[in-house]
Amino acid sequence: MNGDIDVLTLGPHEIRSRLFVGTGKYRDLTETRAALVASGAHVVTVALRRIDLSGRGEGSMMSLLTEQLDGRPRWLVLPNTAGCYTVDDAVRTCRLARELGLASIVKLEVIGDERTLFPDNAKTIEAAQILVGEGFTVLPYCTDDPVVCRRLEEVGCAAVMPLAAPIGSGLGIRNPYNLRIIIEHAKVPVIVDAGVGTASDAAVAMELGCDGVLMNTAIAAAKDPLAMATAMRLAVEAGRLAFKAGRMPRRLYAHASSPTVGLID
């Protein structure tokens, strides 16, 4: 955050930006790279089943994601299991990523419904338990259900990632009350995943007390993805600062901002 120390810890990883971004739906690799840079993101997620992980040549997605900056990886690549509908598929996909040399931090998705892309929470918990047991740092995509989030925390997930709205919908924060309950009880970071549509949605999530926001379509499908990536970066920073500052209480009636003592008669 503009030089301020506000590191987010996920397992053994120290994350320098609380905006997590995806790599899908852009027009080309040039636009993808420009949006990632504009977002200021440290963590970049990629769908393992939709790219060639072994292709590291110039112009490949993996050549972009393994780019160096000042002698170290520019981004922390967060492999995700998008498109997996079974526990076995999700676990196998994560193992493949590790075998190909990616970090053992994964975004776990086990989809339960093809139309809505809602997660299958029971299968997600089962897969998470297996992956945690194998030493993965697991960030699970789940519904905004406080009980499910607690179960995922209990099996050892490094964070929970409840959706704000269906994937790619852009509907924003549909149930801030559930998110507040999750945040209040969680002992691990809470990262909103899916449903953000514009910068104000990201700011609201952070003002609620979320530790981060993950998005893809909100940036990639914008009329100007680079401008939206910048807006999202600023919104996440502003929301985080507002949460830390503590908002004023809401009041039903006006309350004078100027002192009322010593007024001239």
Residues tagged active-site: 107
Q: Where do runs of H (alpha helix) occur along 142-212?
A: 146-154, 176-185, 199-208
Whether residue 168 contacts residue 217, with contact meaning beta carbons closer than 8 Å, is answered with yes
For residue 126, report the phi and psi dihedrals to the nearest 5 degrees: -65, -45
- 116-151: b (≥16 Cβ within 10 Å) or e: ebbbbbebbbbbbbbbbeeebbbbbbbbbbbebbeb
At 19, phi and psi to the nearest 5?
Answer: -100, 120
Token pair in block for residue 124: 């997600």
Answer for the pair 239, 205: CB distance below 8 angstroms, yes or no.
Answer: yes
